[in-house]
Structure formats: structure tokens, C-alpha cells
């Protein structure tokens, strides 16, 4: 019973850790902080390192300039591949990212495009290595939790069956009674000078 309670505790702890890591993975994605249409400056306050420019239509080229709170321009580059983020049913594509890590702070972006109705957003830059590490952490936690819980329940079951078998053996094979003396009522042959009379 004690091992099963420990197994339940391990299962609860594993679920809690996996839930925490899932939320950390979600936070690691470059979610938009503020958005608007091209041609309109956007000012966003970011709480982590790096800046990302996102667009709601990747088929149009976008040209952006971004500065920090002191007016210093932030170099941007176009990352390879396609990264899509869906927030409240609205999809965004990563268009540009800051070349170097930038400290948390307030940044102002101005973007232009051939499509005047193109929407863009400013957000924090996702950490790919952090996301990959946390995903492996989730997988490892799930596997370890399952293995430990199964092992604890198996050990508890083996111990329970062993205890039950010992109880059955005890009741099925009682100890032999202690040796007793000769029955005083048992017939004995007469001794010397004695006669035996049968009634």
C-alpha cells in the first residue's frame, strides 16, 4: 500500500512537471506583443531577449526598421525555414529576427510592403535550443514517470502476493501436536504376581 501511494505521488509530480514544461515551450515561441498595418509604427515592450517581426501573409515581402528606446537601430535578418504561430485563431509567420540578442526593453518598428493591407507584429524572439531542450525534457519526464510508477506497482503487487501465500501456508499446514505420553487407559499385560480378570 505504501509503495502504491508513492507511485501515485510520482505520477502526480510527473504530470505537474510535464504541464509546467509544456507552458514553458509555449512561452518560448515568438508570440506577437503588438500588431498593426504596414506603414504604421508599432511600439512594443518585450520582456525577454531578442526581437521578432511577424506577418499575417508570408507571400508579400516586407521591409522593416526597428530601434530601441534610445533610437539605436537593431540589425535584422531573415531566418531560414518557415515558422508559423497561431494566436486566438490568427496565424502569423516569422519574417525577420534581430541578428544579435537584444535586452528586454521597448522597441519601435516601422515596416513597409507592396501590400498596404498587410498586418505585421512585433514580438519576442523564440529560443529554438530552449524549446528543443524542453521538448526532450517532456519526453524524458513522461518515460521516467511511467517506468517508475509501473515498477512501484509491480513491486507492491509481488509483495502482496508473497504475504498472501505465506498466510495460506500458515493456515494450510498447522504445526504438529506435541508428543503425548502413553494412554493410561491402554491395556497392559499383567506383571509378575498379578492376575488379569476380564469383566
The closest alpha carbon to 143, from 41, 5, 17, 4, belongs to 17
- How far apart CA 122 and CA 33 sit, in angstroms, is 6
Distance CA 83, CA 27 (A): 15
The whole-angstrom separation of Cα 111 and Cα 149 is 54
**Grid cell digits, residue 112:** 513597409
Q: Say how far apart CA 65 and CA 111 lie, in whole Å.
A: 6
Mean pLDDT across the chain, nearest whole number? Answer: 77
Indicate whether 16 pLDDT > 90: no
Domain spans in the chain, listed from the N-terminal domain onward: 1-29+127-166, 30-125
Q: pTM score, two decimals? A: 0.53
The DSSP symbol for 58 reads T
Cell of 68: 530601441
Evaluate if residue 190 carries a pLDDT over 70.
Answer: no
SS3 77: strand
Residue of 54, 36, 26, 49 whose CA lies nearest to 99: 49
First to last CA, the chain: 69
Helix 2-28 × helix 128-172 angle, to 10°: 170
**Quick one: pLDDT at residue 119?**
92
**Residue 94 backbone zone (phi > 0: left; psi -120 to 50: alpha; other: beta):** beta
* Residue 49 binned pLDDT confidence (cut-offs 50, 70, 90): confident
Task: Taking the CA atoms of 7, 11, 13 and 17 in sequence, report the sign of the dihedral they define.
Answer: positive
Q: Is the pLDDT of residue 39 over 70?
A: yes
Of the candidates 34, 42, 33, 82, the residue with the CA atom closest to the CA atom of residue 64: 42
Q: Does domain 30-125 have CATH number 1.10.3470?
A: no
Summarised one tens digit per residue, pLDDT across range 61-85 is 889 999 998 989 999 988 876 777 7
C-alpha cell at 166: 505465506
Amino acid at each position: 500500500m505504501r509503495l502504491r501511494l508513492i507511485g501515485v505521488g510520482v505520477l502526480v509530480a510527473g504530470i505537474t512537471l510535464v504541464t509546467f514544461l509544456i507552458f514553458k515551450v509555449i512561452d518560448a515561441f515568438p508570440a506577437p506583443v503588438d500588431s498593426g498595418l504596414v506603414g504604421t509604427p508599432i511600439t512594443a515592450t518585450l520582456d525577454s531577449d531578442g526581437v521578432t517581426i511577424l506577418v499575417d501573409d508570408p507571400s508579400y515581402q516586407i521591409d522593416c526598421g526597428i530601434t530601441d528606446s534610445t533610437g539605436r537601430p537593431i540589425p535584422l535578418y531573415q531566418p531560414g525555414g518557415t515558422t508559423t504561430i497561431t494566436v486566438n485563431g490568427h496565424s502569423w509567420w516569422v519574417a525577420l529576427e534581430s541578428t544579435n540578442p537584444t535586452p528586454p526593453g521597448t522597441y519601435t518598428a516601422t515596416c513597409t510592403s507592396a501590400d498596404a493591407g498587410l498586418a505585421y507584429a512585433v514580438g519576442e524572439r523564440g529560443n529554438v535550443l530552449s524549446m528543443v531542450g524542453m521538448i526532450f525534457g517532456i519526453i524524458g519526464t513522461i518515460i521516467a514517470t511511467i517506468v517508475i510508477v509501473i515498477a512501484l506497482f509491480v513491486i507492491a503487487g509481488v509483495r502482496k502476493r508473497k504475504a498472501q501465500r505465506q498466510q495460506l501456508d500458515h493456515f494450510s499446514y498447522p504445526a504438529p501436536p506435541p508428543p503425548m505420553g502413553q494412554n493410561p487407559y491402554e491395556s497392559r499385560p499383567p506383571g509378575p504376581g498379578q492376575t488379569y480378570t476380564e469383566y
